[in-house]
A and B are shown apart, each in its own frame.
Chain A
Amino acid sequence: MGDEKIRILLVCSAGMSTSLLMEKMQHSAQDRGINAEVMAMSSTEADKFLKKEHVDVLLLGPQVRYMKKKYEKALAKTDIPLAVIDMKDYGKMNGEKVLDAALQLVNAGK
C-alpha cells in the first residue's frame, strides 16, 4: 500500500453514530501504524463530498442499509468499493474490526 493515506468514508443518516465509530477506527489505525484517514458524514454531506473528493472505500452504517442502492448507482463509474458495516461490529462500536473490513475492501480492489 506504500505510504499513501487510505481514506475511509463512513456514512449514516446524520453522521452521528458513525462519528463515534470514526474515532475508534482512527485510534485503531494509529495503534497499528496504519496511515488512514477516517471520515464520518451524513448522506447529504457525503453526496456533495464525493463529487469533489476521492475516497478509497465507502462504508454505510447498518441503519442506513437502504441507501446502498443509491450509492451503488452513484459509485458505478468509480472503483470505490462499498459495503454495509456489520451490525454486530457497529453495535459494539468495534473500530478494530470495521477497520479490518475497510482495509480488506481496499486491498481487494487493488
Chain B
Amino acid sequence: MSNLEEPQTMDVVMELIVHSGNAKSIGMEALDASKQGDFLLARQKLEEADQELLVAHQAQTSLLKQEASGQTIFVSLLMVHGQDHLMNAITFLDLARELVEVYQNMKLAAKG
C-alpha cells in the first residue's frame, strides 16, 4: 500500500490543495475589490488570503517535519500537484499585493 492511500497523507495533501486554492481565490477577490476602487476591502482580502496561505503552509511544514524526522514520504503525483497549488498561491499573492498598490497609485494619479 502506498502512503497516498493512508488517509493521513491524503488529508494533508488535500489541505495543501484546498487552502492554497482558497488563498488564491481570496487574492482574486482582493484584485476585484481594488479594481472597483475599494482598497480597504482589498487589503482585508489580502490579509484573509495570507491566513489561508498560513494554513496551507502548516500542512506543508508538517510534511517537511515528517520527512526530516526520517519518515519517508511517498511522493505521488497528487502530492506534487498540492505543492504546485501552494507555489502558485504564493506567487499569485505576491503579485496581487503589488497590483493592489498599482491600482491605488493609478487612482491617486487620476485624481491629482
Mark A residues whose CB is within 8 Å of B: 12-14, 16-17, 20, 61-66, 87, 90-93
A-B contact pairs, 12 of them (CB 8 A): A13-B21, A16-B81, A17-B17, A20-B78, A61-B21, A63-B17, A63-B20, A63-B85, A65-B25, A66-B28, A91-B15, A93-B14
Q: Which of A12, A17, A87, A93 has the most CB of B within 10 A?
A: A17
Interface SS of chain B: helix, strand, loop or mixed? helix
Q: In the complex the two chains form, is B22's CB within 8 Å of A62's CB? A: yes
Given contacts A14-B81, A20-B78, A66-B29, A91 and B18 within 8 Å (CB-CB)? yes
Q: In the complex the two chains form, is B11's CB within 8 Å of A64's CB? A: no
* A13: B residues at CB distance < 8 A: 21, 85
Q: In the complex the two chains form, is B78's CB within 8 Å of A16's CB? A: yes
Q: In the complex the two chains form, is B25's CB within 8 Å of A64's CB? A: yes
Q: In the complex the two chains form, is B11's CB within 8 Å of A62's CB? A: no
Which 9 residue pairs spanning A and B have beta carbons closest together? A63-B21, A66-B28, A65-B25, A66-B25, A91-B14, A91-B18, A16-B81, A17-B17, A87-B18
**Nearest CB in chain A: distance from B58 CB, A:** 14
Partner of A63, one of B10, B18, B29, B78: B18
Complex Cα spacing A110 to B85, Å = 36
Complex Cα spacing A97 to B31, Å = 32
* A61: B residues at CB distance < 8 A: 21
Given contacts A14-B81, A17-B81, A64 and B21 within 8 Å (CB-CB)? yes
Q: In the complex the two chains form, is B11's CB within 8 Å of A63's CB? A: no
Complex Cα spacing A61 to B14, Å = 11
Q: In the complex the two chains form, is A65's CB within 8 Å of B14's CB? A: no
Complex Cα spacing A109 to B21, Å = 29
Known A17-B81, A63-B20, A64-B25; 12 more pairs at CB < 8 Å: A14-B81, A16-B77, A16-B78, A16-B81, A17-B78, A62-B18, A63-B21, A66-B25, A91-B11, A91-B14, A92-B14, A93-B14
Closest to B23 in A: A63
